[in-house]
C-alpha cells in the first residue's frame, strides 16, 4: 500500500499536523467522547476504513479556509483517532491506500482498493463492512468501479466531505461516523456499493456529484436515494435492481491495465477533430456525452461513420450517453445500425467504467449491449 502520496504542491501552509486537526476538533461535541468500555467493544462489528485522501482528509491554513486547502493532508488513522465516537459503533481497522485529491485517483488505486477489499472479506470473517474515505470529485467513479468488481455482499461504503477537516462545521466527522454505521448495518448487506454523505445513502450506480460546494451535493437524479442514516438507526427504503457486487461477472483476476475509453462531449458546432483524434489514437472505446437523449450532430456522426468502416479488431466501441444529467438513452435504429450501444441511465463517466470492464471480456457489440441492460 502506498502512503503519504500527495499531489498538491506544499506552497501555502506546509504540512498540516495532526495536532491542527485535534485543535480544530477541540470543543467539538464528538471530540473526547468516551468510548465504550473494553468488554462491550469486543462485541462490536469490525469495520475496515481504507483511506485515499480527499477533502475529508483536507487541511487548510485556518478554520475559515473552506475553498483553499490541501486534499489528503491527514491520514485515515488521524481521522479515526480524532473521532472517538466511532468506538460506540464498531471496532475500526484503518489502512492508507493513497493520499491524494480525487482528481488524481488512478486505475492502480482502483485495483489496489478492489484487491484489498476482496482480501479483507476473504480473510477476515469478522469484517462487517468496509468504508473507503475518498475525495468527492471522482468518488462516484470509484464507487461504481467497486460496485462492479467487488464480488462480495458485505457492505462497501464510500464517504467524503465538502469541507476540509480543519474547517468550521466540517462535515467529514459526521459523514465518517454515518458511513461506519452504514457499513456495520446488517440491512446494508447485498445492496451494492453505497455512498454516504449528508445523512443520505445513495447507490453507487446512480449517484452523482451535483454541486461544487453544497453539502447536499450527492444526488440520484429521478430515482432517489436509498435511505437515511439518522440518530436512531440506518434506515433503508429501497434497493438497487441492477446487477452488482456478488452478482457481477467482472473479474479482476490477472487484470493489470484497462482498455482505453475516452469521453467526447457534444455542443453546438462541435469540432469533429476531437472524435477523429481519438479514433486515430486507437482508443478501444468512446463514450458520447450526447445532447438530449444521446443525440449527436451531423458533423460528429460523419466522424463516427468512419468507425463502422474500420476492421472489427481496430474498431472502437461507441456508447451513447448524454449530457442532461438524468433520464434514459434508449436504442435508436439510426445509431444501432452503426454498431453503437445505448448507455441507459449511466452518466458519461459511469458508462465509461462499464465499457472499460466490458472490454476486458469481449468486443462483441451484442454482448456489450446486454451488459448495459443488466448493470
Q: List residues with catalytic annotation.
A: 55
4 or 32, CB closer to ligand GLU? 4
Across the chain, how many H-helices and E-strands are there? 11, 14
Interface residues for ligand GLU in 166-205 (CB under 6 A)?
Answer: none
Pairing of strands 46-53, 91-100: parallel
The residue with cell 489502512 is 95
Residues 56-75 that bind ligand GLU (CB under 6 A): 71
- Binders of ligand GLU in range 127-146 (CB under 6 A): 135-137
- Rounded CA separation 161/73 (Å): 14
The nearer residue to ligand GLU, 54 or 172, going by C-beta atoms, is 54
Residue 227: CA count within 13 A, CB half-sphere: 19
Question: Of 101, 192, 294, 316, which lies in the binding site for ligand GLU, with binding defined by CB under 6 A?
Answer: 101
# binding residues, ligand GLU (CB under 6 A): 10
Q: Shortest gap between Cβ of 162 and ligand GLU (angstroms)?
A: 7
Please select the residue that binds ligand GLU; options are 65, 75, 91, 102, rule is CB under 6 A. Answer: 102
Q: Provide the minimum distance between the beta carbon of 300 and ligand GLU in the complex, in angstroms, as a whole number.
A: 30
| CB nearer ligand GLU, residue 139 or residue 357 | 139
Closest approach, Cβ 70 to ligand GLU, in A, equals 7
Which residues contact residue 303 at a Cβ distance below 8 angstroms, ignoring those fewer than 6 apart?
272, 275, 276, 279
Options 51, 54, 272, 368; binder of ligand GLU; rule CB under 6 A? 54
Within 10 angstroms of residue 355's Cβ, the number of other Cβ atoms is 27
Contact 217, 209 (CB under 8 A): yes
Measured CA distances, 220 to 194, 208, 248 (Å): 12, 6, 22
Q: Which is nearer to ligand GLU, 211 or 362 (CB)?
A: 211
- In angstroms, the CA 13 to CA 69 distance is 9
Q: Is 155 in the site for ligand GLU (CB under 6 A)?
A: no
In the complex, the residues that contact ligand GLU under the rule CB under 6 A are 8, 54-55, 71, 101-103, 135-137
Amino acid at each position: 500500500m502506498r502512503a503519504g502520496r500527495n499531489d498538491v504542491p506544499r506552497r501555502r501552509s506546509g504540512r498540516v499536523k495532526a495536532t491542527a486537526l485535534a485543535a480544530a476538533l477541540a470543543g467539538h461535541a464528538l471530540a473526547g467522547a468516551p468510548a465504550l468500555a473494553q468488554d462491550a467493544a469486543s462485541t462490536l462489528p469490525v469495520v475496515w476504513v481504507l483511506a485515499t485522501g480527499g477533502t475529508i482528509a483536507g487541511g487548510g491554513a485556518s478554520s475559515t479556509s473552506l475553498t483553499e486547502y490541501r486534499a489528503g493532508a491527514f491520514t485515515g488513522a488521524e481521522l479515526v483517532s480524532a473521532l472517538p465516537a466511532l468506538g460506540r459503533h464498531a471496532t475500526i481497522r484503518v489502512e492508507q491506500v493513497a493520499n491524494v485529491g480525487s482528481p488524481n485517483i488512478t486505475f492502480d488505486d482502483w485495483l489496489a482498493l478492489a484487491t484489498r477489499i476482496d482480501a479483507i472479506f476473504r480473510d477476515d470473517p469478522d469484517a462487517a463492512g468496509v468504508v473507503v474515505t475518498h475525495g468527492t470529485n471522482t468518488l462516484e467513479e470509484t464507487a461504481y468501479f467497486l460496485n462492479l468488481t467487488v464480488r462480495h455482499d458485505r457492505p462497501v461504503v464510500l464517504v467524503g466531505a465538502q469541507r476540509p477537516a480543519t474547517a468550521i462545521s466540517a462535515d467529514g466527522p459526521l459523514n465518517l461516523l454515518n458511513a461506519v454505521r452504514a457499513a456495520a448495518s446488517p440491512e446494508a448487506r447485498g445492496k451494492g456499493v453505497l455512498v454516504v454523505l449528508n445523512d443520505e445513502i445513495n447507490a453507487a450506480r446512480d449517484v452523482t456529484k451535483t454541486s461544487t460546494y453544497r453539502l447536499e451535493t450527492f444526488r440520484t437524479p429521478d430515482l432517489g436515494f436509498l435511505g437515511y442514516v439518522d440518530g436512531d438507526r440506518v434506515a433503508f427504503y429501497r434497493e438497487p435492481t441492477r446487477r452488482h457486487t456478488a452478482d457481477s461477472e467482472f473479474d479482476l483476476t490477472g487484470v493489470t491495465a484497462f482498455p482505453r475509453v475516452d469521453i467526447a462531449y457534444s455542443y453546438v458546432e462541435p469540432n469533429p477533430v476531437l472524435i477523429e483524434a481519438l479514433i486515430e489514437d486507437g482508443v478501444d472505446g468512446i463514450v458520447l456525452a450526447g445532447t438530449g437523449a444521446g443525440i449527436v450532430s451531423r458533423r460528429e456522426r460523419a466522424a463516427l461513420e468512419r468507425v463502422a468502416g474500420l476492421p472489427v479488431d481496430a474498431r472502437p466501441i461507441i456508447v451513447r450517453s448524454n449530457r442532461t444529467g438524468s433520464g434514459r438513452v434508449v436504442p435508436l435504429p439510426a445509431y444501432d445500425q452503426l454498431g453503437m450501444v445505448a448507455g441507459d441511465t449511466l452518466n458519461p463517466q459511469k458508462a465509461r467504467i462499464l465499457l472499460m470492464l466490458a472490454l476486458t471480456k469481449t468486443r462483441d457489440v451484442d454482448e456489450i449491449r446486454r451488459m448495459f441492460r443488466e448493470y
